[in-house]
């Protein structure tokens, strides 16, 4: 179900998620995906708000492409203690059939929260991601050249709006040509996809780019080398990379085998709006040298 939505600009996506959790209540047990990252510098934008609000949790399995393990999801959503479900649209790609997931959550009387930190500009069935659940949150600086900024989107009329909005981030946000940014990111992804198709030693996590998906970056899995060695050697060669979900929170252990494998092998290549095809050629060439040596 798609509700009429309201958007509020806040300091960051983490603040927006924490607000949603507070509105749902501390008797909420939340069902989370079993692929949640953490860094020493920033902690975990997903898991920290859960802990800070004293909320109990469980995890559902993900498949090898980070899509939801539907069988496990359908089993765990039956838990009567579960009050809300978080779906993460990893790297800008829509998670499964999000419309169907929203219907499932409604049938089980669960709040659906969409993590759109990576997917500010992505759509599913011509509807913006973040419009399918009861509430969602976005991170502006991950897609746009901004210092911070987040968006809280509330779709369920039973969840109230916050009293304060961040007008500074609104003014800056409105200056960007979002259509052009989306077009450039998609073009860069498709260009890099063609360049990487024949490169041995890697696996492309998303070998297709669905219509209306605007990716955050280009995730690949390193198969024949140590991922960390490849990552740092690329940095030594002045190739910019983003370290996303390289390390999982401690609560997700090796029993979540798909999550653990991806976290140990993933590298995120740049496709942002400031990079050129020539820059991408250089990224591919340096990666090829490292992978094949």
pLDDT at residue 166, rounded to an integer: 65
* Residue burial 39-50, b: 16+ Cβ < 10 Å; e: rest: eeeebbbbbbbb
**Secondary structure in 3-state letters for the chain:** CCCCCEEEEECCHHHHHHHHHHHHCCCCEEEEECCCECECCCECCCHHHHHHCCCEEEEECECCCCCECHHHHHHHCCCCCEEEEEEECHHHCCCCCHHHHHHHHHHCCCEEEEEECCCCCCEECCEECCCCCCEEEEECCCCCCCCCCEEEEECCCCCCCCCCCCHHHHHHHCCCCHHHHHHHHHHHHHHHHHHHCCCCCEEECCCCCCCCCCCCCEEEEECCCCHHHHHHHHHHCCCCCECCCCCECCCCCCCCHHHHHHHHHEEEECCCCCCCHHHHHHHHHHHHHHHHC
Res. 1: pLDDT tops 70: no
Of 78, 21, 27, which is closest to residue 49 (Cα–Cα)?
21
- Clarify whether residues 203 and 137 are in a common domain: no
Residue 1 lies inside a defined structural domain of this protein: no
Tell me the Cα Rg of the chain.
19
- Per-residue pLDDT, 145: 86
Instruction: Check: CB of residue 41 under 8 Å from CB of residue 94.
Output: no
As a whole number of angstroms, the distance between CA 22 and CA 11 comes to: 17
189 and 277 together in one domain = yes
Tell me, yes or no, whether 221 lies in a domain: yes
Q: Which two tokens stand for residue 5?
A: 């939505």
pLDDT digits (tens, 9 = 90+) for 226-248: 999 999 999 999 998 887 789 99
Q: What is the distance, to the nearest Å, from the Cα of residue 125 to the centroid of all Cα atoms in its chain?
A: 18
Q: Which residues contact 194 (CB under 8 A, 6 or more apart)?
A: none
The range of the structural domain enclosing residue 190 comes to: 178-292
Q: pLDDT at residue 51 above 70?
A: yes
- Inside any domain, residue 204: yes
pLDDT at 41 over 80: yes
Percent of the chain surpassing pLDDT 70? 97
For position 5, what pLDDT does the model report?
A: 57
State both tokens at 31. Answer: 């069902």
Q: Are residues 121 and 29 in the same domain?
A: yes
One domain for residues 201 and 288: yes
Q: Are 181 and 143 in contact (CB under 8 A)?
A: yes
What mean pLDDT do residues 213-227 have? 96
**Domain stop point among 117, 144, 173:** 173
Query: What value does the mean pLDDT take over residues 184-201?
Result: 97
Same domain, 121 and 41: yes
* CATH label of the domain that carries residue 260: 3.90.1150.10
| Better pLDDT: 175 or 53 | 53
Last residue of a domain, one of 126, 142, 173: 173
Reply yes or no on whether the pLDDT at 123 is more than 60: yes
Backbone torsions φ then ψ of 208, nearest 5 degrees? -135, 155
Residue pLDDT, tens place only, 237-281 = 999 888 778 999 999 999 999 999 999 999 999 999 999 999 999
Asked whether residue 27 carries a pLDDT value surpassing 90, the answer given is: no
- In this structure, the answer to whether residues 135 and 14 fall within a common structural domain is yes
Please write the tens of the pLDDT for every residue from 71-96.
999 999 999 999 999 999 999 999 88
pLDDT at residue number 6: 83
179-191 mean pLDDT? 98
Contact 138, 154 (CB under 8 A): no
Same domain, 168 and 199: no
Are 86 and 192 contained in the same domain?
A: no
User: What tokens does 46 get?
Assistant: 């997903």
Question: Average pLDDT of the chain?
Answer: 93
Is the separation of the CB atoms in 169 and 27 below 8 Å? Answer: no
Question: What's the total number of domains in the chain?
Answer: 2
Strands 150-154 and 135-139: antiparallel
Gap between the Cα atoms of 261 and 186, Å rounded: 27
> Are the CB atoms for 53 and 26 separated by under 8 Å?
yes
> Same structural domain for residues 110 and 236?
no
pLDDT surpasses 50 at 4: no
Q: Are residues 92 and 219 in the same domain?
A: no
Q: Which of 133, 152, 173 is the last residue of a domain?
A: 173
More confident residue, 164 or 64: 64
65 lies in the same domain as 162: yes
- 8: pLDDT strictly greater than 60: yes
Mean pLDDT, rounded, for 176-198: 96
Same domain, 189 and 150: no
Q: What is the structure's pLDDT at 164?
A: 74
């Amino acid at each position: 179900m798609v509700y009429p939505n309201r958007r509020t600009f806040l300091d960051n996506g983490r603040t927006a998620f924490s607000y949603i959790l507070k509105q749902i209540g501390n008797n909420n047990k939340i069902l989370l995906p079993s692929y949640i990252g953490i860094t020493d510098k920033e902690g975990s934008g997903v898991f920290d708000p859960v802990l800070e609000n004293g909320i109990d949790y469980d995890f559902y399995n993900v498949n090898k492409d980070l899509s939801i393990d539907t069988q496990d999801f359908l089993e765990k959503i039956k838990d009567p203690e579960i009050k809300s479900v978080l779906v993460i649209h990893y790297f800008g790609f829509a998670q499964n059939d999000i419309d169907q997931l929203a219907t499932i959550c409604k049938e089980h009387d669960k709040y659906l929260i969409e993590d759109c930190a990576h997917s500010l500009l992505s759509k599913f069935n011509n509807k913006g991601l973040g419009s399918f659940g009861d509430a969602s949150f976005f991170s502006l600086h991950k897609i746009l050249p901004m210092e911070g900024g987040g968006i809280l989107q509330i779709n369920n009329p039973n969840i109230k709006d916050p009293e304060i909005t961040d007008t500074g981030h609104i003014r800056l946000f409105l200056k960007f040509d979002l259509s052009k940014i989306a077009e450039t990111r998609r073009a860069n992804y498709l260009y890099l996809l063609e360049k990487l198709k024949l490169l041995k030693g890697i696996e492309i996590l998303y070998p297709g780019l669905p219509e209306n998906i605007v990716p955050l970056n280009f995730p690949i899995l390193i198969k024949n080398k140590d991922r960390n060695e490849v990552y740092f050697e690329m940095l030594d060669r002045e190739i910019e990379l983003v370290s996303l979900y390289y390390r999982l929170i401690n609560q997700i252990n090796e029993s979540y085998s798909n999550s653990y494998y991806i976290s140990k092998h993933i590298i995120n290549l740049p496709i942002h709006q400031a990079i050129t095809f020539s820059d991408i050629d250089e990224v591919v060439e340096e990666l090829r040298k490292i992978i094949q040596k």
